[in-house]
Structures are given as structure tokens and as C-alpha cells.
Chain A
Amino acid sequence: MSKETKKPFRQSMTEWRQFIYNPNSGEFLGRTAKSWGLILLFYLVFYGFLAALFTFTMWVMLQTLSNDIPKYRDRISSPGLMISPKPDTALEFYFNKSDAQSYAEYVATLRKFLESYDDSKQSQNINCTPGRIFDQNDVAVKKACRFNLSELGQCSGKEDKTFGYSKGTPCVLVKVNRIIGLKPEGEPRIQCASKEAGMVEINYFPPEGLIDLMYFPYYGKSLHAHYLQPLVAVQLAINSNSTKEEIAIECKILGSPNLKNEDDRDKFLGRIAFKVQMTE
């Protein structure tokens, strides 16, 4: 019969042992030490060569890139919006206005975030002409425009160290994502709305949520090291009837034809939605 007969267990064990180490031929796993050595050497050389090749091509590729601006910026033609503080998991704020512990993290985040906007840090920054694009294409050293914290009014953290959280008027800072070379047209401003009317009253700093054009364009991390992106503070005065309720708020960038805010797929392109729930 052509069918193979099953080998007895002992025999197959011996065969295995022979395979792992064969004392007669000095073979280990079916190869002699020399053969293993050659194979390892081959793969060492082979992979060494590939690694070198990889490194070399990557190096060549990196040489073609500029240090200042990325080669292509087409994947981010329009900026996203983001808020600070940003809760860890999702964009949902839960706090008790009478319990400092419940919002301490938000306050700390905001404080940290605004550190770079501190006057002491802005000593090199210049005062730019408001309402105009600050074009510095011909200048080798790009200057950053000063953003005065005072523009954030009650949300600057200067008067109210808790950014309104203790008073039931929490502040949320809305920022526009940095994109190199972006020049907004028109008069961009941030506008927020809660889904259900009457639950919350919204105040903007600077007033009307305006974003000044003088902060644009951005020239990138290396050229524009001290750049500060403009902020809009949104203060939510939560109606006392609406405490304990989840308030959904959506902020959008408006007033600029080249900044998108209606993309179907990207929920953060020129807009941001978050929820606030305050207890007493």
C-alpha cells in the first residue's frame, strides 16, 4: 500500500533529537555550525545592506525637503478648530461650580495653555496693524504679532483665577489650527450656539469672537518660532434653570469664504462641538 505507516513514537522522538543535534555530523537543526555561520553572515550582510540602503534613500529624500515649510500643504487647506481646556476622553465638561476640585484640571490646563501668552514671554513680539494680513515674505526673520491676554477679558485668568468655573460662567478658549501660509479672507470670527435655546448665554472675547487677520499667515515652527495663534474666549453663562443638564454647544468659524466649516466628514474643520454639564 502506498499509505505511510505511522512511525512508532520512540523512533520519531529519536529522529527529532537527531534533527536538533546530530552528534555524528555535528549538525544542529539540520546544518553544521559552519553552514549556520555562513547563513547568518549572509543575512547579516544582506540586511545590513538593506538597512544602509533604506537609511541612504531616506537621507536623500530628507535632503529634498525644506526645513521651513513642508513640500505639500494640500491635505490641510482649511484649518480645524480646537478648544482648551480639552477634557481627556471626549469633548465633554463636567464640573460642580462649588467644588473647586472638579474643575481644577480645566483651570490648570488653561493656565498652562496661556503661559506662552504671558506678557513676559511676548517681549520680542511686535504690535501689528490690526485688520490686515501681516505679510513677511521678504523678511528673513519673521516677527510674531503680540496677542494681548487682556483681549480675553474675563477669560484671561487675570481677574478670575478660575476662568469663571467657580461662578458658573466657564470659559473655553477656541483656537484655529496653525497652517503654514494660510491667509483668511474677509472677517473671520468664531460664533457658538447651543442646540437648545435659552439654556446658556454666550459671550465672546475679543468681542463678537473676531479673529484678527494680522496673525496670519503662519510661517512654520522654525521661521516663526514665537508665533502665537489668535484665540477667542467663549464664556458660557449657564442659565440657573439649566444646571444639571447637558448643554451641547457648537462653535464655527464664520465670515471668511476660504475657511470651511461644513465638511460632512471632518467634524472639526472650521467647527467644534462640545458638551458642558454643570452642577451646583
Chain B
Amino acid sequence: RSSRKAFKLTHSYVEMHEFMLQIKPKPGLSSAKAAQVLARDGPNALTPPKATPEIVKFLKQMIGGFSILLWIGAVFSWISFGIQLAQGAESPFDNLYLGVVLALVVILTGIFAYYQEAKSTNIMASFSKMIPQQALVIRDGEKKELPADQLVVGDIVEIKGGDRIPADIRLIFAQGCKVDNSSLTGESEPQSRSCDFTHENPLETKNIAFYSTTCVEGTATGIVINTGDRTIIGRIASLTSGVGNEKTPIAIEIEHFVYLVAGVAISIGVLFFIISVSMRYKILDSIIFLIGIIVANVPEGLLATVTVSLSLTAKRMAKKNCLVKNLEAVETLGSTSVICSDKTGTLTQNRMTVAHLWFDNQIYSADTSEDQTTQPFDQSSPSWTALSKIVTLCNRAEFRPGQENLPIMKRVVVGDASETALLKFAEVILGDVMNIRAQNKKVAEIPFNSTNKFQLSIHKTDDPNDERFLLVMKGAPERILERCSTIMINGKEEPLDSEKAEAFQTAYMELGGMGERVLGFCHLYLPENEFPDTYSFDTDSMNFPTSNLCFVGLLSMIDPPRSTVPDAVSKCRSAGIKVIMVTGDHPITAKAIAKSVGIISATSETVEDIAKRLNIPVEQVNWREATAAVVNGMELKDMSSQQLDEILCNHSEIVFARTSPQQKLIIVEGCQRQGAVVAVTGDGVNDSPALKKADIGIAMGIAGSDAAKNAADMVLLDDNFASIVTGVEEGRLIFDNLKKTIAYTLTKNIAELCPFLIYIIASIPLPIGTITILFIDLGTDIIPSVALAYEKAESDIMNRRPRNKRKDRLVNEQLAIYSYLQIGIMQSVGAFVTYFTVYAEQGFLPSTLLGVRVNWENNAINDFEDSYGQEWTKYQRTYLQWTGYTAFFVSITIQQVADLIIRKTRRNSIFQQGNKVIWVGIFSQIGIALILTYGLGHVTALNFTPLRFQYWFVAVPFAILIWVYDEVRKLFIRRYPGSK
């Protein structure tokens, strides 16, 4: 719908500014008038898209996710502090501190997440920074160089080849002017521009050049008719902001996860609040229990860990040329099920290259790879010598000087695409082309034009014994053939009979059928007697023969696929990702490229192929039999969305050809209707609505316009389709790894929660404190959870189908149950054994501990008797309680090491897969625990005490049990895949 709007707004654009023609070009605007208009219209620049204010972004981090739960915890702490203070209780400040700590946790993790976000946004900001553009303007009768944003409607500007068009201008003078409108309309060929009004539609008419397009060659003068946001580009850009930004899949997953955990936290919290109240605990105590339960349940460090993992992946992807603007897009790429890819530049190398040759009645293939240095085809035939001479001489393209050290394929050439291709082709085979041209001095030349459809030049030859001039000609094959009477076979001229003409036709059709642009080459040695050395050639009167020439051969060119693309496409195929090609090119070319890269596989047929094979009209073919489809943009225009859906549904291999960038949006919407996660590549300004609409918009880093880069979620630095596939791989990997991280993190929540529940029910001394829990969540567990992000793919990552948005959740029932009810409970048992051991070895046997809570915590009781008859003061008990905390903490840490090891892989055994970073995680975990217990064991506020060394090993058998249990589970999963 929105794309239709884009079509409409361009109408009546011409009429609106008809009056502009009346402006007298010579003196231009006066500075005063210009200033006046500038004040009215504003600067000639696009309004940048509205950015979310930094403070809003920051606040979002502060209240998003679990933060709100922790805030509630903090507020409860402060409330109970207030009550206790009012009641004059002995240690009310504990709760104040707890509240402060909770608030600090929220604020610090918030700042951290904000910083991470900002850092990844900054990469982009630096990317989009541009050098201010200058424009040559006539004002007050003088030519002035002005910054382009100072331009106003009515200004006269001059443009030459290489300039960027500084505003929408109507041309009043043009000489050989060609503009590259590809960013606007998707046409890859430069369009010529003149002063003639040729079409109602401003996008079609020849006398308007558009803002932000580039002038490729020639010069022009024009009147500015629109500036800034009122230009065509500006209107499209504003259209883009109208397209809604949808939530990324990972954001949905994390939200789902937060709801799940928060739901568990709140329901357990409330349940135990009710239990403790009905067990006659004081309301205030019950509130404090509630805080403990919330803190135990909320994985405080997890969201920060997720951010770090995502940004690590983003960094890794940046190394592989995928620059991710929005961190969450990292994962979106992994869940992609459809990629709508451009052809030119993304799938192909974006340069014409000679692909095939035909001479001596035979087709030869040329090497089209990116880094060719030789050509392997048979070059012994004298016909090739003749052909190569024509290719070399009948060519106006030249290398820019000073590039001798560069590989030929990388050198910059002045000239059009096919001439460039021929020049490079010749240079690769023959060597110094410029030298050959110098030795075969050009005496006359007729450049290519659209009426002749040929190019001709006449040269002196480099053979000193041969005084004849050589006439060389190239052009549209059928036109060239018309002018020939002979054809060269194995170096000998033979008459061109109908049989040979037939052979030519076959070859021409075959090459054309491959989607290649075919050129014909012929020559003629002018007889020495008629054309002596001094003969003066006149290209206007054509005083030389242009017929009865000798046909030498055909060369066909194509923009060849990048060599890495076919592999990438087949990877996509095995990964269950549908690759749809969307291009402005001709269907035949599009199909040829699609076939050569595997988007249309060798065995599948389109409706047209079936028709051809069965020799029946296209209409009679049952289109359900065709697996592939090539859809023309013209057909697409008349299609209803149902028809489009049918095509998208029923064909696994689709190519959209001759499409306008606006139609891309329709295609994207169609794919999204099928429930697909769609990745779209684009470079033009007109692509931006589609980029924005897509689940992940991918802009081209080299060819892409700024508008496209702005609208995209990701920028491909090398414009290479294969980079997308590596991105997909990374995205899938991070989803798997996040799953591992979350499973790892959730497990110990039970071991943190159980102490509170048992404390409330069995009235034992508190096994672990709230602050200690925070030290696990934000201390020992952080680095291991990040280390899981470095986990390598389990073998099958690119062989499975994309994740189903509805079914394959980040956190599903199974993961939660396995973590909470199995591993978590095992951890709790292990930790409780340590806890009871510590108390028993100090004199409190487990039986003594049950039900002691009230007396244990009573400050006035300082002769609390243990199982051996000894008496303890309150502080001695408290210190013992902290020792209990430390022991519990250490046990959880030790068992988390086992948890980390089992979470490393989901199916593979630990013996099948290594990861060095995991060791960093394990060592950091133990290191931090050692520092906390022995280094900070004397800081009372932290509630750690130096622990007897043997208590570190109490939970080890349980850790081993966890590991063995999980290995057995994995064994079952590997043995009986699909069950359970």
C-alpha cells in the first residue's frame, strides 16, 4: 500500500514547477533572494530520522526487564527499613543497605546495557558521517562554490561527471550528460539526460536529475526545483519513517522469558508471603522473605550477559563484514527463513566480464572469477589473434594511469561497462593493451550510437611489412553480420553462406539464452591501392567500406556471480532458508544468474521451461508442477495479494525480475504473511521502506545509499551475499548459546530459592543471604555465562530448518523444568549438605537446627546452646551463619562449574566438543569465589567468612552427579533422537 503512495506522489510534480522555466538562467538568484528562500524553506538537507532521546533510552534500560521487580524489592526494603526504624529495632540498617544494593544493581546493569547499546550505535554513527557536499551555483551573476545545504529553489547549478546531484534540478542545458539513478529507481544502467520533457512521470522524464543521484559523465546546468525533504528522495525517506518498526524475534523471546521468570518469582513470592503470614510470621518478616524470594528468582546478571553475548557476536560478525546496527538483529538474522536478495553487486560481482567467446564455429568459456590472471581457453587459432586485435583496438576504454601495480581486475577504467570488460579481458590475455593501441595508431573512429548500433575504428597496423589499414568494428551481432560477406574460420576467410549464418544464429541464441550481452566483431583490411598511407578518412561522409566485411566472432558478457555465492546459496538451502532474487534486470539474465548460483537448482523447471519441453503453450501447463518461478515486475503489478501468496507458497525457487524497488516492499509483506522471518538486501533509497519493513534489512556498505543504511538493521561491508550466510550462522549460534546461558543461569536460581523456602518452613538459620545471592548472580556466574557465547556450533547448525517463531522459544517448558526441577534441585541438595556439614562440625547437629529460627535470631539470647552443650552469643551465631552463607555460596559455585560443563553442549558429549573460553569461565568462577571468601572474608558487610578448605569439596560429588546425570541424558538424546 505504502509503495503505491510512492508512485502517486511523483505525479503532478512536473506541472508544479513548470513556471520554473521562466526563470532567467544567466544571473541566477540574488544572494538576498536566496537568503529569503532559504529562510522560508530551510536548508537543503534531509531531516534525519527522529532519534529516541538518550534519556528515554536510558530510562527504558532502568525499568525494562527484571529491573521493575528489583525496584519493587528495593522499595520493600526501604519500607521495612522505615518501619523497623520507627519501631526502634536493633539493626534496621540492614534493610536500608539491601535496598541500596538492589537499586545499585538495577542502575549499574542499566548503565551497562545502555553503554553497550550506545557503543554499537556509535559504530554506525561514524559510518554515516559524510564530507559536506559542495555545489557550483550561479548567484548574483557569478559562479560560486557553496555547501549543498545552502541551495534554494530557483538556484542555477552546474554539474559535471562525477558530481553528486545537489538537489532535484530541472535541466536547462545538457551535454552528454548521464546520471546513475540506480539508488532511486533501481536501473543499473546510467540514464542519459537532456533538456527535453519526455514523460509525464518525473521519474521517467529526461529533463530532471534527482537529489543524491550521481552524474556519471557529461556536463549539465539546471534550476533547482526542490530541496531537502521536498525532493523525491526526501519524500521516500519520510515514507520510510511511516513503516512500522517491528519487535525483533529475540526481543520477543526475552520478553517471554522475563514474563516467565517474573511470573514464577511473583507467584512463589506471594505464595510464601501467604504461607509465612499464616504461619504467624510478622508481616514485616514476611515482606523481607518476599524480597529474598524475588532476589533469588531474578537472574540479575542475565540481561547484561545477553547484551554482552550479542555484542560479542556483533563484533565477530563485523569481522566477517556484517556490521550490525541493532544488537538484537544479530539473532534475527539467525531465525531468518527467507532472504530476498538483490542481484547486482550482491549475488554478482557488479562488473561486466567476458563469459563466452564464439569463433571458429565453437563456443569457448572464459574465466569469470574475481581474481583471474590468465584465461584458460584455447588461444592457438589465428581467428583468435584476429578477434583479439579487434577487441583491443575497437575500444575507447582506458585504464586510469598510475595503477600498474594493481591486479588487472581491480584497476579503475574510464569507459562504459562492456568496454571495460573487453579492455580487462584483453589486458589479461595480451598484456599491455595501451601499448598495442599505440603501435596500431588509430586514424579514424565512429563511436557507438543507438542508431548505428556499432562502433568502428580504423588503424595502421603494427606490422611494418603490411601497409594496409585495418578497419575494426563491433556492435549488435545481427547488425554486424548484416555488414559481413565472409566469415573467418581457422584464420581463413570463407564465404558466409546460409549454413554458416545458421551456425552464427545458433551460437547467438545460445549465448543470449544464457542472459549474456552478446557483441559481434568483424574487421576488414582495406586494400592498399585504394587506401594509401596518406588517405584521409572522413567519418561523416564515411569514405570507406562498411559492408562486405569479414565476420570474426562473438563475445558475450555478463555480470558474473561472485565465486562464493553458489556455496552460500546451497548452504541456505540446507539451512532451510528460501532465497528469493529480486532484481530490476531482464528475466532471462536474472534466470541465468539464478541458475548459475543455484537459486534455481539445476533440476527444477519454471512454467516456461515445462511448456518448452512439452512443446505446449504456457497457459496449458499445470503451474503446480513447476517448482521454480520467474515473475516479471509487470505481472506483479497486476497481481492481487492472494495471487502473490500463492506464488510464494507454491514455488520453492523464485526470481522476481524487472521489479521496481517499490515492489520489493510488496514482496516482503507477502513473505511475512506466510509467517516468514524475512531478510532483505537493498542499496537504493527506494529500498528503504522494504528494508525497514523486513525483519532484518541489510544495506550494502559499498553501493548502498545513506538512506538505505539508515533504514537497515545491518550493513554488509563487502556487499557479498555469502557474508549474509555467515551472519545467519552466527545468529543461529548465538540463539543456541543464549539458550545455554539462560539454562545455566536459571539452574542456580532454585539453589538460591530453596534456602528461603526451607528457612520459612523449617525455621532453620538462614542458609544464604540476599547479598550473597547477588554475588553469585553478578559475580561468579557472569564470566561463565558470557563464555558460553563462545561455544562453537554443534555440528548440525546449518543443516536444520530455521527456528519456528511460535514453537522454538528461547526458554521453553522443557528447559525451565529441566533447570528448575532437576538440575536445580540437585544443586540445592548438594548445597544443603555442605550447609548442614558446616553447622554440624561446629556443634549444631541438623536435628538441633530445625525450628530454631526465632531464638537463633533473637539479639537478647546470648547463651544459645548447641548440640554439645556449649553456649553461643548472638554474634558468634551470626558469624557461623555467615560461614553457612559462604559454604552455601561455594557449593553453588562448585556445582555451577558442573552446570557450565553440562550446558556447553545440548546434544554432544563433553568429550566431543572443546572450548577454551569455558576454561576461562571456570577459572574466573573459582577465582572470584576464592577472592570473595579469603580476600574479602573479613569485610563483615559482605557476609563472607574465610572458609575451611575442605568445605569446597563437600559438593563435588554432587557436581559429578549432575555431570553424569546429564551425560546419560545426552546419551539418550543421541541414541533416541526425537523422543521425550
B862 and A72 form a contact (CB under 8 A)? no
Q: A65-B840, A75-B879, A80-B873 are in contact. List 11 more A-B contacts (CB 8 A).
A: A50-B829, A61-B836, A61-B840, A71-B842, A73-B843, A75-B872, A79-B871, A177-B862, A177-B871, A177-B873, A180-B869
- List of B residues within 8 angstroms of A227 by Cβ: 869
Is B56 an interface residue, CB under 8 A from the partner? Answer: no
B841 and A220 form a contact (CB under 8 A)? no
A75 and B883 form a contact (CB under 8 A)? yes
A80 and B866 form a contact (CB under 8 A)? no
- List of B residues within 8 angstroms of A180 by Cβ: 868-870
The 8 A CB mask of A52-73 against B (1 = contact, 0 = none) is: 0110011001100100111111
Size bracket, chain A contacts: 35 or more
Which segment of A135-143, A147-155, A261-269 sits at the interface? Answer: A261-269
- List of A residues within 8 angstroms of B843 by Cβ: 70, 72-73
A82 and B863 form a contact (CB under 8 A)? yes
A89 to B845, CA, bound (A): 27
Is B404 an interface residue, CB under 8 A from the partner? Answer: no
A68 to B867, CA, bound (A): 10
Is A276 an interface residue, CB under 8 A from the partner? Answer: no
Most chain A CB within a 10 A radius of its CB, from B673, B872, B940:
B872
- List of B residues within 8 angstroms of A222 by Cβ: 868
Interface residues of A (CB under 8 A from B): 1-2, 43, 46-47, 50, 53-54, 57-58, 61-62, 65, 68-73, 75-76, 79-82, 86-91, 175, 177-180, 218, 220-222, 224, 227, 263, 265-269, 272
A266 and B873 form a contact (CB under 8 A)? yes
The 8 A CB mask of B234-253 against A (1 = contact, 0 = none) is: 00000000000010000000
Least CB separation from A71: chain B residue: B841
Which segment of B77-85, B443-451, B819-827 sits at the interface? Answer: B819-827
The 20 sampled A-B contact pairs (Cβ below 8 Å) are A58-B833, A65-B840, A70-B843, A72-B948, A75-B872, A80-B863, A80-B872, A82-B871, A87-B860, A177-B862, A177-B873, A180-B870, A218-B869, A218-B870, A221-B867, A221-B869, A266-B873, A266-B874, A267-B875, A268-B873
Minimum distance in angstroms from A71 CB to a CB of chain B: 4
Minimum distance in angstroms from B942 CB to a CB of chain A: 14
- List of A residues within 8 angstroms of B874 by Cβ: 266, 268
- Select which of A54, A220, A268 is within 8 A of B862 by beta carbon: A268
- Select which of A2, A89, A177, A266 is within 8 A of B875 by beta carbon: A266
- List of A residues within 8 angstroms of B879 by Cβ: 75
Minimum distance in angstroms from B45 CB to a CB of chain A: 34
A181 to B873, CA, bound (A): 17
The 9 closest A-B pairs by CB, nearest first: A221-B869, A80-B873, A177-B871, A266-B875, A70-B843, A82-B863, A71-B841, A268-B862, A268-B873
A43 and B821 form a contact (CB under 8 A)? yes
Minimum distance in angstroms from B465 CB to a CB of chain A: 75
A76 and B870 form a contact (CB under 8 A)? yes
A54/B829 contact (C-beta < 8 A), A1-B673, A80-B863, A221-B868 known: yes
A80 and B672 form a contact (CB under 8 A)? no
A80 and B862 form a contact (CB under 8 A)? yes
A57 to B834, CA, bound (A): 10
Interface size of B by CB at 8 A reads 44
Minimum distance in angstroms from B156 CB to a CB of chain A: 47
Minimum distance in angstroms from B945 CB to a CB of chain A: 9
Most chain A CB within a 10 A radius of its CB, from B841, B842, B865, B873:
B873
A227 to B867, CA, bound (A): 15
A218 to B871, CA, bound (A): 11
Minimum distance in angstroms from A7 CB to a CB of chain B: 14
A177 and B870 form a contact (CB under 8 A)? yes
A177/B872 contact (C-beta < 8 A), A54-B832, A91-B860 known: yes
Interface residues of B (CB under 8 A from A): 246, 669, 672-673, 675, 821-822, 825-826, 829, 832-833, 836-837, 840-843, 845-846, 859-863, 865-876, 879-880, 883, 940, 948, 957, 961
A91 to B833, CA, bound (A): 36
B873 and A57 form a contact (CB under 8 A)? no
A72 to B949, CA, bound (A): 13
A54 to B957, CA, bound (A): 11
Least CB separation from B871: chain A residue: A177
- List of B residues within 8 angstroms of A76 by Cβ: 870, 872, 876
Minimum distance in angstroms from B247 CB to a CB of chain A: 10
A269/B875 contact (C-beta < 8 A), A58-B833, A90-B860, A221-B868 known: yes
- Select which of B673, B832, B845, B869 is within 8 A of A62 by beta carbon: B845
A14 to B845, CA, bound (A): 55
B673 and A2 form a contact (CB under 8 A)? yes
Most chain A CB within a 10 A radius of its CB, from B867, B868, B872, B880:
B868
A58 and B672 form a contact (CB under 8 A)? no
Least CB separation from A175: chain B residue: B863
- List of A residues within 8 angstroms of B845 by Cβ: 62, 65
Minimum distance in angstroms from B758 CB to a CB of chain A: 12
A65 and B862 form a contact (CB under 8 A)? no
A61 and B837 form a contact (CB under 8 A)? yes
B821 and A2 form a contact (CB under 8 A)? no
Least CB separation from A39: chain B residue: B817
Minimum distance in angstroms from B940 CB to a CB of chain A: 7
A221 to B948, CA, bound (A): 26
- List of B residues within 8 angstroms of A224 by Cβ: 869
- List of B residues within 8 angstroms of A69 by Cβ: 868
- List of B residues within 8 angstroms of A265 by Cβ: 875, 940
- Select which of B822, B837, B868, B870 is within 8 A of A46 by beta carbon: B822
A58/B875 contact (C-beta < 8 A), A72-B842, A180-B868 known: no
Least CB separation from B957: chain A residue: A57
B833 and A1 form a contact (CB under 8 A)? no
Most chain A CB within a 10 A radius of its CB, from B246, B826, B865, B869:
B869
A50 to B845, CA, bound (A): 21
Minimum distance in angstroms from B124 CB to a CB of chain A: 25
B836 and A58 form a contact (CB under 8 A)? yes
B673 and A75 form a contact (CB under 8 A)? no
A267 to B841, CA, bound (A): 25
Least CB separation from A90: chain B residue: B860
Minimum distance in angstroms from B946 CB to a CB of chain A: 11
A68 to B461, CA, bound (A): 117
- List of B residues within 8 angstroms of A272 by Cβ: 862
Minimum distance in angstroms from B972 CB to a CB of chain A: 13
